[in-house]
Chains A and B, each alone.
Chain A
Amino acid sequence: MALLDVEDLSVTFRQRGKRTVRAVDGVSFSVDAGEVVGLVGESGCGKSVTSLALMGLLPRQPGISVGGKADFDGTDLLRVDRRAMRDIRGRDVAMIFQDPLSSLNPVIPIGRQVTEVLTRHRGLSGDAARKEAADLLDRVGIPDPTRRLKEYPHQLSGGMRQRALIAIAVACQPRLLIADEPTTALDVTIQAQILELLKALVRDSGTALVMITHDLGVVAGMCDTVNVLYAGRVVETARRRPLFAEPRHPYTVGLLNSIPRLDAGRGDKLSPIPGSVRDVLPWADGCAFAPRCDRQVEACVGEPPQLVLTHTDRTYRCVNPVPAVGSAPAVAEPAVEAGPGPAAEAGPESGPVGPVAEVDPVAEEKQSSVPAPREEESA
């Protein structure tokens, strides 16, 4: 039983006079204790909305509706009442945000911002809380923590601020940590440090981590399992190595190809994905990625593509997937096909597909035949 089991999560924004937007459209994934799961996609694919929905942080407005299930150790995070959710947030499930400067309160000392979560969930106050806060800052690599406690966010560097936010998030040893693009606002060397820190924290505490990012470099360096999102749906799910070794969904391939690589030839051009996230087809009319896809065939339009489960630990949502390495290049032959029709709405873990098989060691090994993915920057 996974620690977090998200099933068919959907978030809809309705605004008077505007088109109804399904930001998240039947997303399913699961996270085991101690596992690092990536949610990857371009901006606007629904990854941040997913995390906010799980935290219960979407604005409570009549136009916003959340559907589906998010089972966290027996509690449905989407249905639990507001009071109980306040007890869970910060204690069992914590979140690290994107922009550390705006995510910290500018007029409150760092120390207070750490101790208030200790006071709220662990009942610490006064000197005990301050001592624990200093320990936390020390643990996330902030030098001279006792002095830093008295400082304000604007007195810290960007990396320090993100460390402070991480200290706040891990203060109560949450079982699940959601990191929403934690390195986007930081420069490259600091990014690597922050990722190392997160990795170490996850390794030492056994906390499960949901890593939300658009950066496949981050994924390559951290995630055990990767979910690629496009236009609010999961289009491919795989373990990290097989995903980089043989991406099956054309969108995943496009994401991989648009990473600049050191081992590319001098004159080689980057191949970005043509078009933008706005050129989507509504899922009901076929594959949302079809307008930008270079493998588009007739079958892409008309009906939403089904989730396909291969014999390896892999699902993708494509009628004309990129052929697997070593298989016949022309036609892709998925081993199992999800049932046709509306049942395909179901996530990879449910529906007629059945439980996902263990990772095929052969598939794992295949990755050696292709260039290694970009590891995270280490300078």
Chain B
Amino acid sequence: MFRFIVRRLLQLIPALFGLSILLFIWLHRLPGGPETAILGERGTPEMRAAIRQNLGLDEPILVQYGRFMKRMLRLDLGASIATKREVTTEFLQRFPGTVELAATAIIIAIAIGIPLGYLAARRRGRLLDHVSVAGSLIGVCIPVFFLAYVLKAIFAENLHLFPSSGRQDPTIEATRITNFFVLDGLMTREWDAAADALWHLVLPGLALASIPLAIIVRITRASVLEVLGEDFVRTAEAKGLTERVVRQRHVLRNAMLPVATTIGLLTGGLLSGAVLTETVFAFSGIGAFIADSISQRDYPVLMGFIMIIAVLFVLVNLLVDLSYSLIDPRVRVR
């Protein structure tokens, strides 16, 4: 187990190295540069050259990469060109919002998706099954930003049930510790701050949950159908076990194996930010910030953020693999 974790973490090193090279080349090959974003259309060639020289962008790309690598090894990601603040600071300030949003979305998707997928499988061919299969198809097809706008228009702007933007009501005086607003509220016992932050998560969480929800419904349904036909379910029935025991102990647990893998992949994806949802709800997470950084060619931010996200993605999937060995004893981690 320990060796498995260590090996997986060691595998990260070549992966990150390769990723950094690809990213570096890709970013620097993009037309334009930070000087365009800073100067706009008015800058003279001399001004542009001065900025490039100032940022060290006039040097050969290998030298630039070497400098980046040297800083990376000291875990220093440099400063943003646009905001002049440390990339790490920017990340720590925005990432908690993304985590809260992703967690909300995945919790909604699991809480609705697994029971719905299970029921659809049990009532195969009946109304609920057709409705959930069709519904999940629609869920995958509807563009997230469209769903986000619709939810916002109905529940925030018309019915005023939920706030329409932001992570927390600015009039609330909240103490910041971790920048996880809900967590901060709970830690400082500022209940109103925690509740308000939670309230702000509902609509963007729902919008972001739509695709994971649809995927989880489908995977669960297919998986339960497969398990229902397994011999060991027949054995369980032959024992005369009650329906509840057969369902929970024998069907659901086995059906969860593929669902767990899917949830891991979805969570990893959600953590890389949700540009559209964050934009619609003016929710400050990393998604919108990354989008801005791309248009401003903010190289240090892009390099830093993407490298961190890559590490997190690998860690999340490592966790999933570890949990997999808890659910399925046949998978021994070595």
**Contacts from A to B (Cβ < 8 Å):** 55, 57, 85-91, 94-95, 97, 99, 102-109, 116-117, 120-121, 152, 154, 165, 168
Using A86-B243, A103-B232, A108-B249 as known contacts, list a sample of 15 further A-B pairs with CB atoms less than 8 Å apart, ordered by residue number in A.
Answer: A57-B234, A88-B240, A89-B237, A89-B238, A89-B239, A94-B239, A104-B235, A105-B235, A105-B236, A106-B232, A107-B254, A116-B241, A116-B249, A117-B239, A120-B239
Beta-carbon contact of B235 and A120 below 8 Å: no
Complex: chain B residue closest to A108, CB-CB: B249
Asked if B250 is an interface residue, CB under 8 A from chain A, the answer is yes
Please report whether the interface of chain B is mostly helix, strand, loop or mixed according to DSSP: helix
Complex: chain A residue closest to B254, CB-CB: A107
Beta-carbon contact of A97 and B249 below 8 Å: no
Q: Beta-carbon contacts of B228-248 to A below 8 Å, as 1s and 0s?
A: 001110111111111101000
Beta-carbon contact of B327 and A97 below 8 Å: no
**Contacts from B to A (Cβ < 8 Å):** 230-232, 234-243, 245, 249-250, 253-254, 257, 327-330
Beta-carbon contact of B238 and A102 below 8 Å: no
Chain B's nearest CB lies how many Å from the CB of A375? 30
Once A99-B231, A108-B249 are accepted as A-B contacts, the answer to whether A55 and B330 lie under 8 Å apart by CB is: no
Beta-carbon contact of A86 and B242 below 8 Å: yes
The residue from B235, B253, B329 contacting A165, defined by CB atoms under 8 A apart: B235
List B contacts of A109 (CB < 8 A). Answer: 329
Complexed CA–CA distance, A97 and B243 (Å)? 20
Complexed CA–CA distance, A97 and B232 (Å)? 10
Complexed CA–CA distance, A99 and B235 (Å)? 11
List A contacts of B240 (CB < 8 A). Answer: 85-91, 117, 120-121
List A contacts of B230 (CB < 8 A). Answer: 102
Beta-carbon contact of B245 and A55 below 8 Å: no
Complexed CA–CA distance, A153 and B236 (Å)? 15
Complexed CA–CA distance, A88 and B234 (Å)? 15
Complexed CA–CA distance, A5 and B22 (Å)? 76
Beta-carbon contact of A107 and B327 below 8 Å: yes
Chain A's nearest CB lies how many Å from the CB of B256? 9
List A contacts of B257 (CB < 8 A). Answer: 107
Which 3 A-B pairs rank lowest in CB-CB distance, beginning with the nearest?
A90-B240, A89-B240, A102-B231
Complex: chain B residue closest to A88, CB-CB: B240
Once A102-B231, A102-B232 are accepted as A-B contacts, the answer to whether A107 and B242 lie under 8 Å apart by CB is: no
List B contacts of A87 (CB < 8 A). Answer: 240
Chain B's nearest CB lies how many Å from the CB of A230? 26
